[in-house]
Amino acid sequence: MKTFSATPKDIERKWFIVDAEGMVLGRMASEIAKILRGKHKPMYTPHMDTGDNVIVINAAKVKVTGRKAEQKRYFRHTGYMGHEKYTPFAKMIATHPERVIEKAVHGMLPKSALARQVLRLKLRVYPDANHPHVAQQPTALTFNDKSE
């Protein structure tokens, strides 16, 4: 018996589209992260990029559970001492809804150069239903977490 290790010629990429309308943010982000890494494939290899491309539409209509809509804050630092900036979830979803999903998926990926490359190249998020990736003929991806 030999252990299989994927090589670049073995990798086949597919395109998936996810409609975020009414979906719970964290549950959706974990499924997207799994697809971006390629863990849904039997040929998954941790050191290779075996994942698929994901398009997320209707990012502005994503849901959060509990009191996260009032309590959740996004942190960033300006680089100066004591200059932490916190952006509430409500403001972030109103101004930059794509960043909400990108940050959630980033939190589900390992903190490595490969994960940053995967996030930058294979995740595309759009605030409404319009996207320029019709030519890729993406497969609709549904999860069973439409309700709370």
Q: What is the DSSP string of 92-109?
A: HHHH-HHHHHHHHHHHHS
pTM, rounded to two decimals: 0.92
Low-confidence ranges of the chain (pLDDT < 50): 148
Q: Which runs of E-coded beta strand occur in the chain?
A: 15-19, 53-57, 73-77, 84-88, 123-125, 139-140
pLDDT, position 21: 95
Q: Which domains does the chain have, with CATH numbers?
A: 15-64+97-140 (3.90.1180.10)
pLDDT in tens, 77-96: 999 999 999 999 999 999 99
Cα gap 84→36, rounded to integer Å: 31
Spatial contact of 104 and 89, defined as CB atoms under 8 Å apart: no
pLDDT, position 83: 96
Count of all residues that appear for the chain in the document:
148
**C-alpha Rg value of the chain to the nearest Å:** 17
**CB neighbourhood size of 71 (10 A):** 10
pLDDT, position 4: 87
Cα gap 97→89, rounded to integer Å: 9
